Amino acid sequence: MQKSNDEMFLESSIKLFRYYKKLGEGAITQLTDEEVLRKPNEASNSIALIVHHLSGNMLSRWTDFLTSDGEKSWRNRDAEFEASYPDKQTMLAAWDNGWSCLLQTLENLKPEDLTKEIYIRNEGQSVLEAIQRQLAHYSSHVGQILYQAKAIRGNNFKSLSIPKGDSDNFNKEKFNQEKSRKHFTDVQR
């Protein structure tokens, strides 16, 4: 049986969130405790502070997702940019906690939930819009993590996508395969 557009949207969204989680982890694992705490400058956030913000946002947005406002009264957003973690292990535990909340919520949604209205700071939006909003938000922060990790590790950073200078080989391998329908996140790089 063919999947509906709503089913495909939910599946694709979950795969994209998992993809960005994996990218962030791929960058973070290449860094030391000290490196995740390093701020590029006083106006910027360390990777640990970015993770603190992501985790806080995920827990707030995705806890009781369909039944309560996405900005919970117990969340202290300002503190997410001030208080950090003592080490990478503690930071990764918070990272996992936020992503688990998000992914469990998404995996329990039904296609008919996509048109329901939810609120974030009393602003109504469809579930579909809220998913897109958070996907854009989280991917931008994962991009910040990747950028900082590359800046810190320099030439020692292990590429998480097609390595620089390897596009021709990658494309040649792809075009030597039969055409098929799949999500780009299903492909191992």
Count of alpha carbons within 13 angstroms of residue 161, beta-carbon side: 13
Question: Would 82 be classed as within a structural domain?
Answer: yes
* Span 85-107, average pLDDT: 97
Phi-psi group of 72: left, alpha or beta (phi > 0 → left; psi -120 to 50 → alpha; rest → beta): beta
Q: Token pair for residue 9? A: 């949207």
DSSP class of residue 158 equals: P
pLDDT digits (tens, 9 = 90+) for 154-186: 999 999 998 888 999 888 888 998 998 888 888
pLDDT digits (tens, 9 = 90+) for 99-145: 999 999 999 999 999 999 999 999 999 999 999 999 999 999 999 99
Question: Would 175 be classed as within a structural domain?
Answer: no
pLDDT confidence of residue 18: 98
* Span 23-43, average pLDDT: 96
Closest CA to 133 of 83, 39, 65, 180: 65
Backbone angles phi, psi at 116, to 5 degrees: -65, 155
The whole-chain average pLDDT of the chain stands at: 95
Count of structural domains within the chain: 1
- Within 8 A by CB and 6+ apart from 31, the residues are 47, 88, 149, 152, 153
C-alpha dist (Å) from residue 57 to 34, 133, 146, 157: 24, 12, 19, 28
With a cut of 80, say whether residue 187 has pLDDT above it.
no
pTM of the complete model beyond 0.75: yes
Question: Would 189 be classed as within a structural domain?
Answer: no
* Span 57-70, average pLDDT: 98
Read off the CATH number of the domain in which 142 is found. Answer: 1.20.120.450
